[in-house]
């Protein structure tokens, strides 16, 4: 049986405000209520929400150090200096590097290289290897994206090698800010930029916007970069509010209408070229393919292999020739398939280990270690284990003589504090409330496992270990009209801070025969009917919920919570419910 979930229906908005909005906007009270629940309680706010405007983007020069950053790039361009664009190996980092690199090429700068660290040899962030590469290439200015905010010593080392750094980051800084030429990070305490939830690529875009603004380049000439930016915003799971909503809205428009050659090749290989691409499509199809490249270990004996998997991803994203882009994309897609195979195999090994150790199944956290697992996929495996056991999870492996791994949390539990409580056992760690990375000596694994498990046991509220489904509103199937769905779609793009609404409908049952589908018959597809007048039937899909098949097949009632989505099949678009959870109604 799947884990029993707790359903929590959000408090509805103030009735008078909901009624006023519904009347003024000519929309269903259910949808007006969604607006109020999101803090959109006036017609003026609603108009801004439904009609994002690029003119509402903030002045990039409000960001601390932006003036200095632009001046240093102007000098480098004027003097023909060698510039290196440096970024992290994940989607946010690689799209950021591609965006800034493409812009510098666009303005005619020719002395240009990019560098993506290798996950296995360089590690995370600005590396000595990367700085040495820059020095050998004659680089005098490096622009670091999606990393660098804690690289105090590395920036000093780079300066000794004659390399200046501009840092564009969005992670929380430590007390000491690196002594770079400029450090752009809206999370700096001394930065008054009005929006601090930009992605790393978003900070890079603000740098590009500032340079363009200062040098008389019209904004329309940098709009083509927004397709890369929306891929970063979606994949890095930053809030889709404020400036991110505007950038994502226009980025999606660009991605659907006129994507760059590299992204177009990914869109085609995902089978998304004949439908409207959404944030979900980026998160589940486009982003993982880009990410997979940075997760894979390169063949050191292959002279034609890219210096790092992330390097191959950037090559694809900056390629302007469609034929070459498709060739790069095939390589990236192979990385993704290989990643999925390894991920599936390691996840199964981890499951088998836990199931064979009953004492682990009874604990409130999981720490699991296997020195043979691939470093690049332990974070994915930790997330997979949470889907089954739903508790804070750490997955560890061996890399370059150290035990290294990823930790993931459940809603409401501060994982970072749990890891920090073991800091004396760790060589390095970093992250936030729900995800962290850590490194330790092999002899500390046993002590870390005990300390981490004890901390969770002592500090976690048992209620947190029951997964929660947040429900926005009750709904009748008969309310789901074409007009309702059209108006609901205008709430997009969905994401953190503006999640796709979850509705609940009570007392429904199967119309016709439900079916188990998928390679392992793991998904449940069925038409559900609500019998009260007007009698309404609607197609649904319940992923990873096959255990309800016999109950529903017997004609018995269930309550369902779901999201309303579009199903694209052979050129036909229909409304479908994506079932998030099912509760059986006993006695019916």
The DSSP line for 211-277 is: HHHHTT--GGGTGGGHHHHHHHHHHTT---SHHHHHHHHHHHHHHHHS--HHHHHHHHHTT-TTS--
Which parts of 421-526 fold into alpha helices (H)? 445-459, 482-489
Q: Are 534 and 478 in contact (CB under 8 A)?
A: yes
For 386-397, the pLDDT digits (tens) are 988 999 999 999
User: CA 281, CA 278: separation in Å to the nearest integer?
Assistant: 5
User: CA 247, CA 446: separation in Å to the nearest integer?
Assistant: 46
Q: Which two tokens stand for residue 275?
A: 């439908």
Share of the chain residues as helix, strand and coil, in percent rounded to the nearest 5: 45, 20, 35
Average pLDDT, the chain: 91
Per-residue pLDDT tens digits of the chain, which is 588 residues long: 557 889 999 999 999 999 999 999 999 999 999 999 999 999 999 999 999 999 999 999 999 999 999 999 999 999 999 999 999 888 999 999 999 999 999 999 999 999 998 876 776 789 999 999 999 999 999 999 999 998 999 999 999 999 999 999 998 888 899 999 999 999 999 999 999 999 999 999 999 999 999 999 999 999 999 999 999 999 988 899 999 999 999 999 999 999 999 999 999 998 888 788 999 999 989 998 888 776 655 454 444 445 556 788 898 899 888 888 888 888 888 877 887 888 889 999 999 999 999 899 889 999 999 999 988 889 889 999 998 899 999 999 998 889 999 999 998 899 989 999 999 999 888 777 888 889 999 999 999 999 999 999 999 999 899 998 999 999 999 999 989 999 999 999 998 889 999 999 999 999 989 999 988 898 999 999 987 766 789 999 999 899 999 999 988 999 999 999 988 776 777 889 999 999 998 765
Phi, psi torsion values for 579, nearest 5 degrees: -70, 125
| DSSP type of residue 495 | B
In CATH terms, 357-465 corresponds, of 3.40.50.880, 3.90.850.10, 3.10.310.30, 3.40.50.300, to 3.10.310.30
Q: Which two tokens stand for residue 398?
A: 């061996």
For 305-350, the pLDDT digits (tens) are 455 567 888 988 998 888 888 888 888 888 778 878 888 899 999 9
User: CA 127, CA 155: separation in Å to the nearest integer?
Assistant: 10
Q: Are 438 and 429 in contact (CB under 8 A)?
A: yes
What kind of fold does domain 6-10+469-584 have according to CATH? OB fold (Dihydrolipoamide Acetyltransferase, E2P) (2.40.50)
Phi, psi torsion values for 203, nearest 5 degrees: -65, -40
For 136-152, the pLDDT digits (tens) are 999 999 999 999 998 99
Q: Are 406 and 395 in contact (CB under 8 A)?
A: yes
Query: Which CATH class name applies to 60-334?
Result: alpha beta
Domains 60-334 and 357-465 share a fold: no
Q: What is residue 396's predicted lDDT score, i.e. its pLDDT?
A: 96
Domain residue limits, the chain = 6-10+469-584, 60-334, 357-465
Residue found by looking up tokens 């920036």 in the block: 155
User: CA 186, CA 422: separation in Å to the nearest integer?
Assistant: 29
Half-sphere exposure of 182 (CA within 13 A, CB side): 24
Q: Are 165 and 144 in contact (CB under 8 A)?
A: yes
Q: What is residue 33's predicted lDDT score, i.e. its pLDDT?
A: 96
User: CA 229, CA 20: separation in Å to the nearest integer?
Assistant: 36
């Amino acid at each position: 049986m799947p884990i029993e979930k707790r359903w929590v229906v959000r408090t509805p908005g103030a009735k008078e405000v909901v009624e006023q909005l519904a009347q003024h906007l000519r929309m269903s009270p259910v949808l007006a209520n969604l607006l109020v629940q999101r803090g959109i309680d006036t017609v003026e706010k609603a108009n801004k929400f439904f009609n994002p405007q690029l003119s509402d983007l903030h002045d990039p020069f409000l960001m601390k150090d932006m003036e200095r950053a632009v001046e240093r790039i102007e000098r480098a361009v004027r003097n023909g200096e060698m510039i290196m664009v440096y970024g992290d190996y994940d989607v946010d980092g690689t799209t950021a590097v591609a965006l800034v690199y493409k812009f510098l090429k666009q303005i005619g700068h020719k002395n240009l290289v990019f560098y993506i660290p290798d996950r296995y040899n360089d590690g995370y962030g600005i590396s000595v290897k990367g700085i040495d590469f820059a020095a050998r290439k004659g680089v005098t200015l490096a622009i670091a994206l999606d990393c660098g905010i804690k690289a105090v010593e590395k920036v000093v080392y780079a300066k000794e090698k004659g390399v200046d750094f501009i840092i564009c980051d969005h992670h929380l800084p430590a007390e000491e800010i690196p002594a770079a030429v400029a450090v752009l990070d809206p999370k700096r305490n001394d930065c008054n930029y009005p929006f601090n939830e930009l992605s790393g690529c978003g900070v890079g875009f603000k740098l590009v916007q500032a340079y363009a603004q200062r040098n008389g380049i019209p904004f329309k000439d940098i709009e083509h970069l927004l397709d890369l930016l929306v891929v970063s915003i979606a994949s890095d799971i930053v809030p889709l509010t404020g400036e991110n909503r505007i950038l994502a809205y226009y980025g999606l428009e660009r991605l659907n209408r006129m994507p760059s050659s590299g992204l177009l090749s990914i869109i085609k290989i995902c089978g998304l070229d004949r439908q409207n691409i959404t944030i979900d499509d980026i998160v589940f199809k486009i982003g993982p393919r880009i990410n997979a490249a940075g997760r894979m270990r390169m063949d050191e004996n292959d002279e034609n292999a890219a210096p790092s998997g992330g390097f191959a991803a950037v090559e694809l994203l900056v390629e302007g020739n469609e034929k070459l882009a498709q060739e790069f994309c095939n390589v990236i897609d192979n990385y993704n398939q290989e990643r999925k195979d390894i991920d599936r195999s390691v996840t199964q090994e981890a499951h088998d280990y836990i199931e064979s150790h009953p004492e682990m199944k009874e604990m409130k956290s999981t720490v699991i270690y296997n020195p043979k697992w691939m470093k690049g996929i332990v974070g994915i495996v930790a997330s997979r284990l949470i889907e089954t056991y739903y508790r804070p999870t750490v997955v560890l492996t061996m890399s370059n003589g150290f035990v290294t791994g990823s930790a993931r949390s459940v809603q409401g539990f501060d994982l970072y504090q749990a890891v920090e409580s073991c800091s004396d056992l760790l060589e390095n760690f970093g992250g936030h409330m729900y995800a962290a990375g850590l490194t330790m000596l092999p002899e500390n694994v046993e002590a870390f496992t005990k300390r981490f498990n004890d901390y969770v046991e002592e500090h976690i509220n048992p209620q947190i270990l029951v997964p929660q489904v947040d429900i926005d509103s009750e709904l009748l199937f008969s309310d789901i009209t074409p007009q309702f769905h059209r108006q609901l779609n205008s709430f997009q793009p969905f994401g953190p801070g503006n999640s796709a609404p979850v509705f609940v409908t009570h007392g429904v049952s199967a119309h016709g025969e439900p079916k188990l589908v998928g390679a392992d018959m793991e998904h449940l597809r069925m038409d559900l009917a609500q019998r009260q007048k007007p009698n309404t039937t609607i197609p649904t899909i319940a992923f990873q919920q096959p255990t309800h098949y016999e109950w529903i097949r017997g004609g018995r009632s269930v309550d369902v919570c779901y999201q309303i989505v579009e199903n694209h099949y052979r050129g036909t678009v229909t409304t479908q419910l994506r079932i998030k959870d099912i509760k059986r109604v006993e006695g019916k």
